[in-house]
Structure 1
Amino acid sequence: MGQLELIATSTFGLEAVVKKELQNLGYNDLIVENGKVTFNATEKDIPIVNLWLRSADRVLLKMGEFETTSFEELFEKTKALPWDEWITEDGEFTVEGKSVNSQLYSISDSQAIVKKAVVEKLKTKYNTEWFKETGAKFTIEVSILKDIATLTIDTSGIGLHKRGYRSKSVEAPLKETLAAALVQLSYWNKNRFFIDPFCGSGTIPIEAAMIGKNIAPGLNRNFVSEEWPRIKKEYWYNARRNVWDAMNKDIKLNIIGSDTDKKAIEIAKDNAYNMGVEEDIKFITRDFRNIDFRDDYGIIICNPPYGERIGEKEEVNRIYKDMGKIFRELDTYSIYVLTSNEDFEKLYGKKASRKRKLYNGRIKVDYYQYYGPRPPKKR
């Protein structure tokens, strides 16, 4: 079994989270760049990382990387790569592309050249002039940055944020991958009280429960590379069996999700049920101003309204001011707030211990982190 290079892609700002996840899975010699983490692996690792990565967007198989300034050069260097070792004779493959600050700026032309080069490579392997493309799916991407082309095949299929539990959602939901990252960037652990007072359809509490019970995010979904003959079925079987064995089924979590929207709470309950964590989260319909924050050393992680629409700004400003009045009294709590509102600290009334720039979809947001004291050690 030969060595491969895999790329875990991520939203800008989450590269360090993805790197830590990979290190916890046992991968080292990681190369971190904007929006991606590259690492050495084998075929056995493709199922493992797809099943376990919480904050990555996709896992790509890196086929090659080279400098290119002409379409002829792109064609020849692409054709030289070992596409025939992965793509089957009946494989259905498409080519996607992007180009930034490069002489080959026409994405459609680059895609066509790469498609032609791959076809020519496969012709020599399978000794045929025509391909049915009725078999397994392969999505190739040509990414050209400053005249350096990186060619990959997507091993995930639909994005890794698609866990399979969110059958319904509220308007403008938080991506599961970002929600998981918010939890991992906090001081929360399975022994601490957790509350999201603006939980919407429940994504942050559900992702927290999955982390607390060590439930792999890919547990209930499939991946496009499961149909690739090159990756043995036993690799997927073993990886999925290990996922089930790794779950902390008996652990009791103290998690609350709250929102004023009764419909959102019903959706959140359904989503938690779909993921199998309905007994680990208590969902309540309540304004955050009326919540009784009794537990000491709790963690608040939330994604309150941003006030992006006309007419909402005054209401959102009032929410942030009231959050400050209430949350600042919680001396033992650590509090984490995601918002695009650049006046948040001023409205909240306190400067954050740390502020981290992230992206919620295409919206630039900041993750305001207010650190509380460590809980006393249990005797």
Structure 2
Amino acid sequence: MKIPEQLTLMATCAMGIEAVVARELKDLGYTDARTQNGRVIFTGTPADICRTNLWLRTADRVLIKMAEYPAVTFEQLFEGAKAVDWAAFIPEYGEFPVNGRSHKSQLTSVPACQSIVKKAVVEKMKESYRTEWFDEDGPLYTLEIILLNDIATITLDTTGPSLHKRGYRKTTVEAPLKETMAAALILLSRWGPHRPFYDPFCGSGTLPIEAALIGWNIAPGLRRSFPSERWDFVPEELWTQARDEAFDAVRDEISLNIGGSDIDPESIEIAKASAKRAGLGSEITFTVQPVARFKAEGKFGCVITNPPYGERLSEEEEVEKMIQQLGRAALDLKDWSFFAITPTPNFEQKFGKKADKRRKLFNGRIECQFLQFLGPLPPRR
């Protein structure tokens, strides 16, 4: 049994950054990428499973869409799942757990839906492998049944732990910005390695590190592994080829001007350790200092930052004071652009300037605005 030559793939992502993921895919050569809520659909081969897992900076996972069909009864759910040629993807010894979600659908019991799909997959594989029992002691093939508006979608997860887990951050501080969201903010800013970069609220260093990875064109998935590396239909040579291409694409000869600072010494130590693990230890300057002492070097730079959020009244006052200090620093950097993701409703008032652009994004479950205060672009080189 053979898998189809063209697979329908899905890159899932946080709400609000679908267009960023689509742009990434198009830059990688996937011209048919089309956006839906929280995901981008495109077609590819097993080789593209390797490439996209290694290269996508803003997506959470790369899934294979195995089936999509109407299902308002358990019988319909079962028959649709059983119609898939599962043996073309999952070997007799594979482990295949089923996860599930249901929203605005008549089939509301997620455990029941998971059980039905699992039973359908087993029944189909019994027919294919002519056996009554599967030990499931081999490579992992995680399936998910998603029910939305009475449409069932079954996917196969090629990624495993979310793509935000790059492998460079072992410890973290409270309220971190996910690596995928940090990369999205940088890509939305259109920052490039020829411009200075600074984060005056850098915490554990996610934004400066992601900027350096982008600046040197380092594939974010190079330092981690994926369950699909053990799959029969994604041969080892495809992974080797994709990794070799990614290593060849690194541009570490480019000089970077990237820095970050934070008032918390522990956060800065974590940032330095993470940068070192990412192979960027000497490329990023991290400093312990309050935002009031922030000064930047260079012209036409970008400040991209995730300022603290005040949850109590006393904290809100402190956050507003820090935003004011950031705004005062901006007065001395007239040719710099400033970008901030924040839920603070009066950020612009405290910063002292109205944003040129704004975009609604979610940092985790917190609804935020990505405010963009645009300075002049550098002269064309």
Q: TM-score, normalised by structure 1?
A: 0.98
Q: Distance in 2 between matches of 1:246 and 1:323?
A: 36
Q: Any residues of structure 2 matched to 1:80-229 within 5 Å, and which?
A: 80-229=83-232
Q: Distance in 2 between matches of 1:51 and 1:257?
A: 26
Q: Distance in 2 between matches of 1:309 and 1:231?
A: 51
Instruction: Give the SS at the match of 1:214.
Output: coil
Distance apart, 1:343 and its partner CA: 1.6
Distance apart, 1:309 and its partner CA: 3.7
Asked if 1:377 corresponds to 2:375, the answer is no
Distance apart, 1:280 and its partner CA: 1.2
Paired position in structure 1 for 2:27:
24
Segment of structure 1 superposing worse, 301-310 or 107-116: 301-310
Instruction: Give the SS at the match of 2:31.
Output: coil
Asked if 1:302 corresponds to 2:305, the answer is yes
Asked if 1:44 corresponds to 2:47, the answer is yes
Instruction: Give the SS at the match of 1:92.
Output: coil
Q: Is the 8 A contact 1:187 1:334 kept in 2?
A: no
Q: TM-score, normalised by structure 2?
A: 0.97
Paired position in structure 2 for 1:312:
315
- Number of residue equivalences: 378
Q: Percent identity?
A: 51
Asked if 1:266 corresponds to 2:264, the answer is no
Q: Any residues of structure 2 matched to 1:322-361 within 5 Å, and which?
A: 322-361=325-364
Distance apart, 1:326 and its partner CA: 2.1
For residues 163-205 of structure 1, give each alpha carbon's deviation from its aligned partner in whole angstroms, at most 9, with x where no partner exists.
0000111111110000111110113101101100111110000
Q: Is the 8 A contact 2:294 2:329 kept in 1?
A: no
Q: Distance in 2 between matches of 1:144 and 1:187?
A: 36
Tell me which stretches of 4 or more aligned residues in structure 1 moved more than 3 Å: none
Q: Is the 8 A contact 2:198 2:260 kept in 1?
A: yes
Q: Distance in 1 between matches of 2:130 and 2:269?
A: 57
Distance apart, 1:310 and its partner CA: 4.9
2:358 maps to a residue whose letter is K
Paired position in structure 1 for 2:241:
238
Q: Is the 8 A contact 1:187 1:299 kept in 2?
A: no
Distance apart, 1:377 and its partner CA: 2.7
Distance apart, 1:330 and its partner CA: 1.8
Q: Is the 8 A contact 2:60 2:164 kept in 1?
A: yes
Paired position in structure 1 for 2:284:
281
Segment of structure 1 superposing worse, 56-65 or 289-298: 289-298
2:173 maps to a residue whose letter is V
Coordinate RMSD, CA, aligned: 1.0
Instruction: Give the SS at the match of 2:340.
Output: strand
Distance apart, 1:101 and its partner CA: 0.8
Q: Distance in 2 between matches of 1:349 and 1:249?
A: 38
Give 2:77's match in structure 1, choosing from 69, 74, 86.
Answer: 74
Q: Distance in 1 between matches of 2:216 and 2:152?
A: 41
Q: Is the 8 A contact 1:59 1:154 kept in 2?
A: yes
Q: Is the 8 A contact 2:295 2:329 kept in 1?
A: no
Unaligned runs of 5+ in 2: none
Q: Distance in 1 between matches of 2:317 and 2:273?
A: 32
Paired position in structure 2 for 1:256:
259
Unaligned runs of 5+ in 1: none
Instruction: Give the SS at the match of 1:125.
Output: helix
Instruction: Give the SS at the match of 2:96.
Output: strand
Q: Is the 8 A contact 2:265 2:288 kept in 1?
A: yes
